[in-house]
Amino acid sequence: MSPIDDLFSKLRNENRKALMPFVTAGDPDLDFTATVIQELVARGASICEVGIPYSDPIADGPVIQASYTRALERGVKLKDILAMLGDVAPQVTAPLVTMVSYAIIFRHGLEQYADALCENGVAGMIVPDLPVEESPLLAAVCEARDLSLIQLVTPTTPRERALKITENSSGFLYYVSVAGITGERTKLPPELVDRVSWLREQTPLPVCIGFGISQPEHVKLLAPVADGLIVGSAIVRRMAEVGENRDTVLGEVGDYVGTLLAALP
């Protein structure tokens, strides 16, 4: 079992749900990324997702795209991100996962990327642009190392295809709440609850919802039908406001995540 399997087993036994914040690696720099990860876990985050900056993001909205651009312009490198995660992982109680384009994994080498995650204490990877038809090879690489390969199901995914995605996924399934890109939203689709409920009936994998979740009201609505909730753009936007007073922004990000945690049942 991977650390993520262990986590969700524990959460289910305790009848609790996971909150998963997302941060962009290297925006504004890797030292602050590490500090924010530690703060979020200390506040009670169950898993931290770390975005690997990529010049051609597939589903990321303007906030996260801009953060990737800033990090790349400052020269952040994959090896430095992995080294930072290797330093942070032993200091936190929550598993860390990378949100990464398959193009980066492919260029690095499937086994080499997976080995690098293991060497640096990372529990898994979310690969948003990996087609299910091409996922078995990476799934086998991850399974051999007890890494979680987390894949996405969207509102437009046909049910038959969704079932195929579950067969080559591990750790949890990432359910995309809306058809579109990441970003904060005031309203979520009314059919979201029914779709997630159906998916949870089809697989033993935990199902976690992301895209658009930004308010305590969203957490209260979705927590009863999901195993976890993912929050990204609202955190990245706050981190983008970092200036000289980093402690202030760190506190604001922590307090914001605290309001979401307080809304969990």
Measure the CA–CA gap between 30 and 28, rounded to whole angstroms. Answer: 7
Cα torsion for 36, 143, 54, 90, to the nearest 10°?
20
Active site annotation includes 49: yes
CB neighbour list of residue 199: distance below 8 Å, 6 or more residues apart: 153, 162, 173, 175, 207
| Three-state secondary structure call for residue 184 | coil
**Annotated catalytic residue: which of 31, 60, 160, 244?**
60
Residue of 49, 143, 227, 241 with catalytic role: 49
Rounded Cα–Cα distance for residues 108 and 71 (Å): 19
Helix, strand, or coil (residue 97): strand
Q: 215 and 2 in contact (C-beta within 8 Å)?
A: no
CB-based contacts of 99, cutoff 8 Å, min separation 6: 22, 49, 50, 51, 52, 125, 126, 128
Contact residues for 6 (Cβ-Cβ < 8 A; gap 6+):
none
Active site annotation includes 201: no
Residues present in the chain in total: 265
Across 190-227, b (16+ Cβ under 10 Å) vs e yields eebbebbeebbeebebbbbbbbbbbbeebbebbbebbb
Residues classed as catalytic: 49, 60
